[in-house]
Structure 1
């Protein structure tokens, strides 16, 4: 629900973030008035909430005992040589094939560092050979980019949304590029249906698909260049239509959509071979089709309907990647906590999320870890500093301070155990979205564990 703008202009991203926060406030207002949540005022003060969590159950000491007894101290954000702590994390993952790594903000240096460390470890030691990013399915696809032999920085900026253009994420991309000359390269894919990177250009798309058609050995009168010029135009106007309410932009999108969708349908039908090139081209054409479906929902529907459509489309892309392109590979997913959630990430805003669709499809083969921060600051989508606001006593952030670790991993079971100790994991319990907004999350339904970073700072941007 965080990045459905279709360009990387910082000013537009900032306006989008402000609009989304306003929409989020509107969505939860009616629930807050009926006493089912909490909120923070404009001053940043914390409003006490009434829930069935620690205070009312008298289980605070038991909850603290659970954290003390079950947490795993993570010894470093970046150390690749000492991995005993990650061995313990891997033991809880077991043989699961899909691991989701979330983040409560896209702008935390420490979250990107620990995720980079975990992904490197999983690749080196547990055969996770694919990393899938919440960014463009086209620009991030390994098969699309492999012939260009892109430098790590070019690959990063060509692929990911600009909010991840940092030295912390570059460290991962340098590792990715270095593995390409080995017998087990770490493959890069994207699963977002939106355009995100510098490689998302009509000329690059045209070049790729015309080459793929030639390899397929089929003849077509389809105007590939015009198709992707239309897709780029729809992408460019999406923000103006949905967020700014520009009716002219909406009308233009609606006028272009039918022909673009018909052309995409024809493009998909061209790729019937079982080669990797054909399967990749078919997947990418299908992803563009899902993008057009999303834009149709955005023009005619509500913000929430657009969010639900995007999460459904991203889940469909992940499923297709895992079953058709990489059916024998383990996959690590990099995305926001909201998208990886296997249950509603806030019980007041209930629309289907990517992780819910993936959980339904993959079941016990899916393992999800949410990431949170206790103090400090993170960056908004336009790189502005957002201070982590104070926490209520009965919150995930406050509870995990009992062990005083710079970074910790807390695994838990989705089954409520006898006794009080883990009750807080199985009922709405407070934590923070982006470090600023209190939300109520049934943690054991949403994740298989969480990572808490004690102090967050802004990324070291490129």
Structure 2
């Protein structure tokens, strides 16, 4: 389906509902975190999915605890935009474009009874997860608090030493078990489940950070945390996931592959790419140049379309030879890619839907 260029006020997304179908989870990727054009289009897709299809959760590739503060902002108006910016832990999200998405969700919530939830599912920040459980314990459970104080000390020593203290994981697992068996009658089930989830995230971060023998990959942990969001949302909830293409892909051992395995047709992945322009990245320059696609890349093939910007349902395309074989596909992420930006993939193994934009403009950072 054709879509108007980024920044256009025209809707141009009438066919999107048919592409999404009845899927409960729609994953919106990005081939770089620093493309304003992708985020402008994402916002238009989010608006459509919320207003036309009843999606009610937006989940961003960011730590879960920090996202809860942003959820309080968009649902209840607590805090302010400067505090929100600080909670967007990764510099990639500290941009005007991500703030625009958050502000639109807040405005929508102020005008509608059915609210959009803002969630995070990453697990790299162990301190914030542990801190949230400690805050809970301070008000509700002195026994739990004493256990967490010991864990905090062991955790700090472990980080300083670069390896875990012998009893850190054991005591953390004990707290996980304690929380699963402890009843807090005066508190809502949802509140207690969330605290249990934060403790699980802390244990995930321990295993991941220290490379423990039983550790899973970051992608598998993120997939498990998205699964938790699904299981702890109303059965009617439909969820938008936003992350790098390399996380939402259905190939390999990435988060999207787990979600595709668990949810089947209820999971639809959108891979995003572009032909030319600029992008922002972690580096000394304010922005970087997009390499022109060449013969043998999907982007070169897409650039020959009569449409500058379009959405292609790869599940419905059978007769185009290039789409049935491996070719170069742009992948940048959060860091500058000035040597090569293309990596060979079999695109139909990775994504259900391809979103192509002719020109990328870099994002606008809001915090240095």
TM-score interval, smaller chain: 0.7 to 0.9
8 Å Cα contact 1:99-1:368 kept in structure 2: yes
1:223 aligns with 2:147: yes
Q: Distance in 2 between matches of 1:381 and 1:258?
A: 37
What is the CA distance between 1:226 and its match in structure 2? 4.8
8 Å Cα contact 2:134-2:145 kept in structure 1: no
RMSD after superposition: 3.1
1:441 aligns with 2:368: no
Q: Distance in 1 between matches of 2:39 and 2:282?
A: 15
What is the CA distance between 1:426 and its match in structure 2? 2.7
8 Å Cα contact 1:191-1:317 kept in structure 2: yes
8 Å Cα contact 1:280-1:325 kept in structure 2: no
Secondary structure, in 3 states, of the residue corresponding to 2:14?
A: helix
Alignment of 1:299-314 (within 5 A): 309-314=217-222
For residue 18 of structure 2, the aligned residue among 91, 109, 119 is: 91
Distance 1:440 1:232, change over 3 A: farther
For residue 260 of structure 2, the aligned residue among 341, 353, 359 is: 359
**Unaligned 5+ runs, structure 2:** none
- The one-character-per-residue Cα deviations of 1:63-110 (angstroms, maximum 9, x if unpaired) are xxxxxxxxx22114245x632x21212211111110000011111111
Secondary structure, in 3 states, of the residue corresponding to 1:105?
A: coil
Distance 1:224 1:286, change over 3 A: same
Q: Distance in 2 between matches of 1:121 and 1:411?
A: 17
Q: Distance in 1 between matches of 2:202 and 2:80?
A: 26
**Unaligned 5+ runs, structure 1:** 1-71, 238-247, 345-351
- The one-character-per-residue Cα deviations of 1:372-411 (angstroms, maximum 9, x if unpaired) are 1211221223474332223221211101111254432111
1:190 aligns with 2:91: no
8 Å Cα contact 2:65-2:132 kept in structure 1: no
TM-score by length of 1: 0.68
Which deviates more, 396-405 or 101-110?
396-405
- The one-character-per-residue Cα deviations of 1:29-62 (angstroms, maximum 9, x if unpaired) are xxxxxxxxxxxxxxxxxxxxxxxxxxxxxxxxxx
What is the CA distance between 1:269 and its match in structure 2? 3.9
Q: Distance in 2 between matches of 1:232 and 1:74?
A: 50
Alignment correspondent of 2:242: 334
Alignment of 1:421-432 (within 5 A): 421-432=319-330
Alignment of 1:74-85 (within 5 A): 74-79=3-8, 82-83=10-11, 85=12
State how many pairs are aligned. Answer: 354
Alignment correspondent of 1:121: 48
Alignment of 1:43-442 (within 5 A): 72-79=1-8, 82-83=10-11, 85-141=12-68, 145=72, 149-181=78-110, 182-195=112-125, 200=128, 206-211=134-139, 213=140, 220=144, 222-228=146-152, 237=159, 249-252=161-164, 256-270=168-182, 275-296=189-210, 298=211, 309-344=217-252, 352-382=253-283, 384=285, 385-403=287-305, 405-413=307-315, 417=318, 421-434=319-332, 436-442=340-346
Alignment correspondent of 1:459: 363
8 Å Cα contact 1:140-1:160 kept in structure 2: no
TM-score by length of 2: 0.84
Alignment correspondent of 2:354: 450
Q: Distance in 2 between matches of 1:201 and 1:233?
A: 17
Alignment correspondent of 1:21: none
8 Å Cα contact 2:137-2:145 kept in structure 1: no
Distance 1:93 1:386, change over 3 A: same
Alignment correspondent of 1:12: none
Q: Distance in 1 between matches of 2:343 and 2:96?
A: 30
Secondary structure, in 3 states, of the residue corresponding to 1:413?
A: helix
Q: Distance in 1 between matches of 2:155 and 2:17?
A: 41
8 Å Cα contact 2:293-2:300 kept in structure 1: yes
